[in-house]
Chains A and B, each alone.
Chain A
Amino acid sequence: MSRAVDFVTRRRGASGSGGKGWHWTDVFTWVWLIGGLFVMFAPAAWLALSSFKTPAALSEFPPSLLPYVTETVKIAGNDKPSPLYDVTMPDGKTARLVELRRVGIVAQMVDPASPETVIKVNIKDRKPVQKLHFETSNYTEPFVHFDFLRYLWNSVFVTVTATLITLVVNSMAAFALSKYQFRGQNAVLIVIVATLMVPLAVIMVPLYSVVSSLGLLDSLWGVILPTVATPTGVFLLRQYMLTIPDELIDAARMDKASEWQIYWRIVLPLSAPALAVLAIFSVVWRWNDFLWPLIVLSRSSLYTLQVGLNVYSGQLNVQWHFILAMTVVTMIPVVLVFVFLQRFIARGIATSGLK
């Protein structure tokens, strides 16, 4: 047994610090990691768990960890199903009774088996009978009765369209900047670098006037177009295309391939890894965009999920059961990207610092 513990806890380099035992840094490491696991994951997990609760369960304080509802029974003479309680009777026994009505601190309750005899019970002496219940209507209702299906569609449309356009125009520009020699090449590069310094927040006022003079206000294209010519994308692809040997292109030219054919039959397929990284990033960027859609879209049928969530969560009477469920829906694509493509993204950030 002790050898097993030894095996699990043994670390390289431990012998270097003077024999066995845990250095304080080892203890700290695990405290930090376990604490990090809790702090990083628990908030999102709590949101997801809460999203399955009924409005009644959501307003409970202190909240229960899992989504519970009070069990109910249909009683003749009552239209609505009545809640079940475990009641401690005066003789010390517990009985399972149904509440008919409540007056102050006294509840009138009956045994479901013999609904004729009404028993008066102090509400201190009873506990609701609860069962695990996942309220899926939190997810379906916003799609049916509110515009969330529209918002979802708008978000998908913006994300997919913007990513496709980004891939096409950025790769064309990167091709020109990596495989041709022409006058003003450096000037173009410098202009692109310079715009890395111009974030949306700095130009949003005049950008709004440009977009509105193009008639793109209150249109999804007004959200899509200003975002597609990303300087980071051009750079990422250009750096990658520089590694494609020029001999390939020269050989293709000998065979009378047109420049366009060289671009899409040779350079584009060979750039697939870099295109994949840019596609992943672009999807996450566009899905998560908030400030610009918030400015451009004022008609509610055009809201993206992010804007819709913000509007609904900003109302005076926040319907948390819907908001929580829709937040989970908004989270899903990003969580999928995270689970399956996390390694690509990690490499992208580590090598180029893009985000």
Chain B
Amino acid sequence: MKANGLLSASQSVLMAVVSRVMGIVDVPLRYLQRKAGQNGMAAFFLAPNMAIFAVFVLVPFVINFVYSLTGGSAIFLSERSFVGAEQYREIFACGNYLDPNTCKQDVFWIAAGNTAAFVVLQVSLMIVAALITALILNREIIGRGFWRAVFFFPVLLSPVVTGLIWRWIFQRQGVLNAVMQGLGLEPHDWLTERNSAFFASIGVSIWAHVGFYTLILLAGLQAIPKDLYEAAQMDGTSRSRVFWRITLPLLMPNLIVVLVLALIRAVQIFDEAFVLTHGGPGTSTMYLVQYIYETGFASELRNPGLAAAASILMGAVLVVLTLVQMAASRRSEKKGAR
């Protein structure tokens, strides 16, 4: 009771202060409103957001193109020399286009190849897992809210925490190897062997994100009219037929949106994989964003122009995927309206 009173007292004090400040702010703004007119105030309300937006998103976006046409290691654009399409030529200088090792920027192509393999495997496995989980959570099960929370839990964790949790499990002396030994299997160097490190990064990223896509698919499943299922049951339709003929077709719009969303996110894989393996062993878990980061900032021979060119190539892929997503979600909206 007492604590409550204290809380509400401090709340009312806070409100009084806020209202005082807002009142003081109001004086010059009334003057501004007299000058600019009622509708002119819209510009005032937009200004802070759009100014921040322009400086930190639009300007970098535009100068990224200019940046990719310059060379040297200087940061400021004015100190950089114009080299034309040299950076792009550098990226595409390959002896044999089927073998990344013959390219001048072999690490870029290895990172691109890794990312492509990662995207295909991670997205397909994750969508299947998310679909199965959503179908299960959509059933009449005891404690549905609890189970939903179980699968959603890792979504909120930071990628660094996720990476460390799994590094601790996968390490040489880790619990996974202890379990393997208990089962009579040979312990394995999960994060220092090329293939297992790659698959570990895929598994960890599925673990971290599957709950997010499950939630979207679950919302889609719950939007399917119940009477369709009742009618099917009355007709004695088999469960598998109900799934293939009712559930899947009606869920398809959501599924496409989720698929493209997952693709867009998977192309940008960086944080958890970086903390898990730092791109290693060798370059086996080096993905595109890490390549851009290391070329632009981290390595001794940094080359911001090359990093900018690489980021524009990645951006082009993302733009295509986003356009697909917009078309897909527009189609699903139309379907929903019908």
Binding site for B on A (CB under 8 A): 11-13, 16-17, 23, 25, 28-29, 32-33, 36-37, 39-41, 43-44, 46-47, 50, 59, 61-63, 168-170, 172-173, 175-177, 180-182, 188, 191-192, 195-199, 201-214, 225-226, 228-229, 231, 234, 253, 258-261, 263-265, 284, 287-288, 290-291, 294-295, 306, 309-310, 313-314, 320, 323-324, 327, 330-331, 334-335, 337-338, 342, 345-346, 349-351, 353, 355
- Name which residue of chain A comes closest to B234, CB basis: A16
Q: Are B297 and A295 in contact (CB under 8 A)?
A: yes
Assess whether B100 is interfacial by the CB under 8 Å rule: no
Assess whether B38 is interfacial by the CB under 8 Å rule: yes
Q: Are B57 and A229 in contact (CB under 8 A)?
A: yes
Nearest first, the 3 closest Cβ-Cβ pairs linking A and B are: A62-B178, A288-B158, A173-B49
A323 — which chain B residues lie within 8 A by C-beta? 164
Most buried by B among A197, A309, A342: A197
Q: Are A59 and B212 in contact (CB under 8 A)?
A: no
Q: Which of B30, B155, B158, B278 contacts A260 (CB 8 A)?
A: B30
A258 — which chain B residues lie within 8 A by C-beta? 26, 29-30, 33
Assess whether B106 is interfacial by the CB under 8 Å rule: no
With A229-B56, A331-B157 in contact, do A177 and B318 touch (Cβ < 8 Å)?
no
Q: Are B318 and A44 in contact (CB under 8 A)?
A: no
Nearest CB of chain B from residue A346's CB, rounded to whole Å = 6
Distance in angstroms between the alpha carbons of A198 and B136 in the assembled complex: 35
Q: Are B64 and A288 in contact (CB under 8 A)?
A: no
Distance in angstroms between the alpha carbons of A196 and B323 in the assembled complex: 11
Distance in angstroms between the alpha carbons of A229 and B314 in the assembled complex: 23
A29 — which chain B residues lie within 8 A by C-beta? 136, 139, 141
- Name which residue of chain B comes closest to A313, CB basis: B164
Distance in angstroms between the alpha carbons of A253 and B30 in the assembled complex: 13
* Interface 0/1 of B169-208, CB less than 8 Å to A: 1000111011001100000000000000000000000010
Q: Are A260 and B50 in contact (CB under 8 A)?
A: no
Q: Which of B133, B152, B215, B297 contacts A208 (CB 8 A)?
A: B297
Assess whether B166 is interfacial by the CB under 8 Å rule: yes
Distance in angstroms between the alpha carbons of A195 and B67 in the assembled complex: 19
Q: Are B56 and A226 in contact (CB under 8 A)?
A: yes
Chain A: interface secondary structure?
Answer: helix
B319 — which chain A residues lie within 8 A by C-beta? 197
Assess whether B92 is interfacial by the CB under 8 Å rule: no
Q: Are B268 and A225 in contact (CB under 8 A)?
A: no
Distance in angstroms between the alpha carbons of A130 and B74 in the assembled complex: 59
Q: Are B239 and A204 in contact (CB under 8 A)?
A: no
Q: Which of A201, A228, A234 contacts B270 (CB 8 A)?
A: A201
Q: Are A350 and B219 in contact (CB under 8 A)?
A: yes
Assess whether B252 is interfacial by the CB under 8 Å rule: no
B26 — which chain A residues lie within 8 A by C-beta? 258, 260-261
Q: Are B150 and A59 in contact (CB under 8 A)?
A: no
Tell me the chain B residues, 63-103 only, with Cβ under 8 Å from chain A: 63-64, 67, 75-77
Q: Are B152 and A263 in contact (CB under 8 A)?
A: no
Number of interface residues of B (CB under 8 A): 98
Nearest CB of chain A from residue B332's CB, rounded to whole Å = 11
Tell me the chain B residues, 191-246 only, with Cβ under 8 Å from chain A: 207, 211-212, 215-216, 218-219, 233, 239
Q: Which of A43, A202, A209 contacts B165 (CB 8 A)?
A: A43
Assess whether B42 is interfacial by the CB under 8 Å rule: yes
Q: Which of B77, B133, B322 contacts A196 (CB 8 A)?
A: B322
Distance in angstroms between the alpha carbons of A355 and B157 in the assembled complex: 12
Q: Are A349 and B212 in contact (CB under 8 A)?
A: yes
B38 — which chain A residues lie within 8 A by C-beta? 253, 259
Distance in angstroms between the alpha carbons of A167 and B110 in the assembled complex: 41
Chain B: interface secondary structure?
Answer: helix
Q: Are A195 and B60 in contact (CB under 8 A)?
A: no
Distance in angstroms between the alpha carbons of A228 and B311 in the assembled complex: 22
- Name which residue of chain A comes closest to B142, CB basis: A8
Binding site for A on B (CB under 8 A): 22, 25-26, 29-30, 33, 38-39, 41-43, 45-46, 48-50, 52-53, 55-61, 63-64, 67, 75-77, 132-133, 136, 139-141, 147-161, 164-169, 173-175, 177-178, 181-182, 207, 211-212, 215-216, 218-219, 233, 239, 257, 261, 268, 270-271, 274-275, 278, 288-289, 292-293, 296-297, 304, 307-308, 311-312, 314-315, 318-319, 322
Q: Which of B52, B150, B166 contacts A36 (CB 8 A)?
A: B150
Most buried by B among A172, A202, A203, A261: A202
Q: Are B215 and A47 in contact (CB under 8 A)?
A: no
With A62-B178, A225-B52, A351-B219 in contact, do A287 and B297 touch (Cβ < 8 Å)?
no
Q: Are A47 and B153 in contact (CB under 8 A)?
A: no
- Name which residue of chain B comes closest to A343, CB basis: B145
Q: Which of B132, B153, B318 contacts A40 (CB 8 A)?
A: B153
Q: Which of B60, B136, B270 contacts A32 (CB 8 A)?
A: B136
Q: Are A198 and B61 in contact (CB under 8 A)?
A: yes
Distance in angstroms between the alpha carbons of A192 and B46 in the assembled complex: 12
Nearest CB of chain A from residue B272's CB, rounded to whole Å = 9
Q: Are A41 and B239 in contact (CB under 8 A)?
A: no
Distance in angstroms between the alpha carbons of A344 and B1 in the assembled complex: 28
Nearest CB of chain B from residue A257's CB, rounded to whole Å = 10
Distance in angstroms between the alpha carbons of A290 and B274 in the assembled complex: 11
Nearest CB of chain B from residue A335's CB, rounded to whole Å = 8
Distance in angstroms between the alpha carbons of A290 and B163 in the assembled complex: 12
Q: Are A291 and B307 in contact (CB under 8 A)?
A: no
Distance in angstroms between the alpha carbons of A207 and B216 in the assembled complex: 32
With A169-B49, A229-B52 in contact, do A202 and B159 touch (Cβ < 8 Å)?
no
Q: Are B158 and A206 in contact (CB under 8 A)?
A: no
Distance in angstroms between the alpha carbons of A225 and B51 in the assembled complex: 11
Beyond the given pairs A338-B153, A349-B215, 19 more chain A to chain B contacts, judged by CB atoms under 8 angstroms and listed by A's residue number, are: A32-B136, A59-B173, A63-B174, A169-B48, A169-B49, A173-B45, A180-B42, A197-B322, A201-B268, A203-B60, A205-B64, A205-B307, A205-B308, A259-B45, A291-B289, A324-B164, A327-B165, A334-B158, A342-B149
